[in-house]
Amino acid sequence: EASHNQVMRFGELPSWAMALSDSIHDAVLSCSIHVPTDLESCNGRRNELVSPFPSDLLWRQPLFDQLIANLYHPGEGICAHVDLMRFEDGIAIVSLESSCVMHFSQVEAEGGESSSSSSSANRKKIPVYLNPGSLILMSGEARYEWKHEINRNPGVQMWEGHELQQATRTSITLRKLR
Ligand code: AKG
């Protein structure tokens, strides 16, 4: 129905989402690289695995047990937020159907200054362009210390000097409950 724009699933995921989870696992493995460490300070370890998802998260079982599918119509987005603490570290979002820009902004420090120069409106936002099929992985600092948002108000979704054509967008967010 037109009014339904979000579905959630907790616990055992449907088979298509399990397949997606496996693909994410494989994608992370394929872009993890071994970087040589300084031999004098490596205490016997010659390589360090640099991965977009820490290995303790990547190998947990199950990798994900909660999903949200969000459907966005043109002009619709999602406000800046950090995902609830009821979810573990290690969150994946697959972006589908149309392109958009997700912005990341640092969470305000508690008890921080209240001057206008430190207000959230003035905080630097880091834009990340998402194609259909883009995968966002958030862990550690990115998951806990940065908010993410998608503002699809007219005139806002710019990339490389061009306004993005608004179209329907679907995202699949995969997380693990604590
Ligand atoms: C959420 O459901 O909490 C999201 O942040 C979804 C983001 C997206 O649609 O890409």
Mean of all residue pLDDT scores within the chain: 87
Q: Whose CA is nearest to atom 1 of ligand 1?
A: 173
Query: What is the CB < 6 Å shell around ligand 1?
Result: 68, 70, 78, 83, 93, 95, 148, 150, 171, 173
User: Shortest CA distance to 58 belongs to which of 94, 24, 12, 20?
Assistant: 24
Question: What pLDDT, on a 0 to 100 scale, did the predictor assign at position 77?
Answer: 95
In sequence order, the 6+-apart residues with CB closer than 8 A to the CB of 134 are 94, 95
Q: Calculate how far, in angstroms, residue 38's C-alpha sits from the geometric centre of ligand 1.
A: 39
Q: 75-124: per-residue pLDDT in tens?
A: 999 999 999 999 999 999 999 999 999 999 999 877 655 444 455 556 79
Question: Would you say residue 71 has pLDDT above 80?
Answer: yes
Please state the rounded mean pLDDT for residues 61-74. 97
Question: What pLDDT, on a 0 to 100 scale, did the predictor assign at position 122?
Answer: 62
Q: Calculate how far, in angstroms, residue 143's C-alpha sits from the geometric centre of ligand 1.
A: 12
Task: Check residue 42 and report its DSSP letter.
Answer: S
Q: 112-171: per-residue pLDDT in tens?
A: 554 444 555 567 999 999 999 999 999 999 999 999 999 999 888 999 999 999 999 999
Burial (0-12, 13-18, 19+ Cβ within 10 Å), 106: middle
pTM as predicted: 0.86
Phi and psi angles of residue 155, each rounded to the nearest 5 degrees, phi first: 85, -5
Helix (H) or strand (E) holding 107: none
Most ligand 1 atoms within 8 A of CB, residue of 8, 150, 172, 175 to mutate: 150
Please state the rounded mean pLDDT for residues 53-57. 87
**87 or 32: which leads in pLDDT:** 87
End-to-end CA distance of the chain: 32
Residue the block writes with tokens 């990547």: 58
Question: What pLDDT, on a 0 to 100 scale, did the predictor assign at position 115?
Answer: 46
Most ligand 1 atoms within 8 A of CB, residue of 7, 10, 68, 168 to mutate: 68
Question: What pLDDT, on a 0 to 100 scale, did the predictor assign at position 121?
Answer: 56
Q: 8-25: per-residue pLDDT in tens?
A: 999 999 999 999 999 999
Which two structure tokens, joined as six digits, stand for 156? 């806002």
Residue the block writes with tokens 């589908």: 96
10 Å Cβ neighbour count for 87? 18
Question: What pLDDT, on a 0 to 100 scale, did the predictor assign at position 128?
Answer: 95
State the chain's maximal CA–CA distance in angstroms: 63
